[in-house]
Amino acid sequence: MPLIPIESLGPSTFTSPLRYPIELKHGGFVPDHLGIRHSTEVDFNSTDGKDLNLVFEKAGPRAKLFFNPSEASAAIVTCGGLCPGLNNVIRSLYYELYFNYKVAQILGIRHGFQGLNPEQGMPPVWLDRKVVSQIHNDGGTFLGTSRGSQDPKVMVDFLQVRGINLFFGIGGDGTQRGNQAIHNEAKRRGYPLAVVGIPKTIDNDIQYCDRSFGLMTAIDKAREVIRLAHTEATGNPRGIGLVKVMGREAGFIACGATLASQEVNFTLIPESPFDLDGEYGLLKALEHRMNDRGHAVIVIAEGAGQDLFEPSEDKFDASGNHLLSDIGPLLKGRILEHFNRIGEPVDLKYIDPSYIVRSVPANSEDALLCDALARRAVDAAMSGRTNLFIAPMNSSFAHVPITMTLDAKRRVALDGWFWNSVISATGQAPQFRNPRS
């Protein structure tokens, strides 16, 4: 059971200026010999589960720092699609750096990695209290964002010229790849740059990150929309509410909103393929439901049912994401067609809330999480750690090497309590064989 090692820029040299932990009775600095288990499950019949042995370094303030706060400079960048909580992360990074560590120079990069390329992006802004003090109450990111990366040489030039030592890159796996490229280039040059990532994915699909910020807010908003779909479905004779939510490869939003609302009858996620036709297909299950109860609500993640489309040439967006076919209209069309064919038309209302669930301000749960991630990220960078990201892990926070997140994406476990609860709450059988009568 070894500790996953974290790359470091060098030995600690400076004493932390943080006053508070010193005064705490039991200390507040996290010693380097503490780790956090990734898995908390114990199997008393078998003690050699591979995954059970992963132990990550515990995040938190260190007594000794690599950087001298009075000389360090920081830069913050937000990349990819909007996600509730970006402004909260920016603000807490600023406050922790400026007020607690006394780092005076903090640069805000505009519109993602574009802003690190002087030929493409807008010039950066120096942050101060006035400019960030209220941003956490707004959705979006006041720095702006964009998709795609830039030449690592250009980006490190940009940072080196401005004397930046602490780099905080907030984004999804594309961004973490960019962070790693920046780290590699700086390392090649021997330039001491602490690169710390903060995982951002509204889909919650980053490995070794228990819960990414924005997810709960998205679930909140999706729940609201589901309730409206339920209102529409029950308000009309033979009403069906069909709601498409985000979730390219992972169905966390669809599942979470289902459990929060308890008014969904079919939850379709990328992890669990399904048939439309046939005795055990969705349409037959929906037919049973309509005959039994007269109304239904269906929630589908955007990445579900992609195998129902004709294979076509692959396309990608600027972030390198595979462009999905739009499952919402396909499903709507097939349902209408089915019920027309059997002579029992339905009144289907299709709702695609799209940006509505991601541009809102962070709710309390996410606001709290963003604050903790940001402060732990500053702790890690100031101690000279690099090429890592901060992850909430069980009831703590851990340092995870960026490399580890690039291997695979997180998925809803089909044998875990979460999906199990979805099946209980919807009454759907995994392949719609025996919907609740």
Q: Please, what is the Cα angle at 79 between 142 and 120, to 5 degrees?
A: 85
Is 352 among the catalytic positions? no
> Contacts with a second copy in 322-361 (CB under 8 A)?
349, 351-356, 359-360
Among 109, 181, 202, 260, binds a second copy (CB under 8 A): 260
Helix or strand or coil: residue 336?
helix
Does 139 sit near a second copy (CB under 8 A)? yes
Measured from the CB atom, the residue of 38 and 177 that comes closer to a second copy is 38
Nearer to a second copy, 241 or 303 (CB): 241
Residue selected from 256, 303, 305, 401 as contacting a second copy according to rule CB under 8 A: 256
The closest alpha carbon to 12, from 58, 55, 61, 57, belongs to 61
Site for a second copy in 61-120 (CB under 8 A): 61, 82, 88, 91-92, 95-96, 99-100, 111, 114
Per CB under 8 A, the list member of 48, 279, 312, 395 interacting with a second copy is: 395
The nearer residue to a second copy, 191 or 280, going by C-beta atoms, is 280
Stretch that binds a second copy, among 183-191, 255-263, 326-334, 336-344 (CB under 8 A): 255-263
By rule CB under 8 A, what count of residues binds a second copy? 108
CB 140 within 8 A of CB 355: no
Q: Count CB neighbours of 261 within 10 A.
A: 21
Torsion of CA 424, 427, 429, 433, to 10 degrees: 160
DSSP 101-165: S---EEEEPSTGGGGG-TTTSPPPEE--HHHHTTGGGSSS-TT---SS---HHHHHHHHHHTT--
Do the Cβ atoms of 182 and 228 come closer than 8 Å? Answer: no
Task: Report the distance separating Cα 31 and Cα 59, nearest Å.
Answer: 10
> Which H or E run contains 330?
helix 327-341
Contact segment (CB under 8 A) with a second copy among 64-72, 153-161, 254-262, 330-338 equals 254-262
In the complex with a second copy, the residue whose CB is nearer, 197 or 353, is: 353
What part of residues 18-57 is at the interface with a second copy (CB under 8 A)? 19-21, 23-28, 31, 33-37, 40-45, 55
Which residues within the stretch 186-245 sit at the binding site for a second copy (CB under 8 A)?
210, 216, 219-220, 223, 225, 227-229, 231-232, 234-237
Window 117-136: residues binding a second copy (CB under 8 A): 122, 134, 136
> Residue type at 304?
A
Q: Hunting for tokens 């995994």 — which residue is that? A: 430
Q: For the CB of residue 180, give the shortest distance to a second copy in the complex, in Å.
A: 24
Q: Tell me the closest approach of the beta carbon of residue 20 to a second copy, in angstroms.
A: 5
Q: Pick the catalytic residue from 173, 203, 220, 371.
A: 203
In the DSSP assignment, the letter for residue 4 is P
For a second copy, which is the closer residue by CB, 234 or 325?
234
User: Pairing state of beta strands 388-393 and 396-401?
Assistant: antiparallel
The secondary structure element, H or E, covering residue 397 is strand 396-401
**Nearer of residues 145 and 180 to a second copy, judged by Cβ:** 145
Q: What is the end-to-end Cα distance of the chain in Å, rounded? A: 49
Q: Applying CB under 8 A, which part among 140-148, 179-187, 298-306, 381-389 lies near a second copy?
A: 140-148
Asked if 15 touches a second copy (CB under 8 A), the answer is no
20: tokens are: 């508070």
Name the residue nearer to a second copy (CB basis): 311 or 395: 395
Identify whether the C-beta of residue 110 lies closer than 8 Å to the C-beta of residue 125. Answer: yes
Among 363, 404, 406, 409, contact with a second copy (rule: CB under 8 A): 363
Active site residues: 203
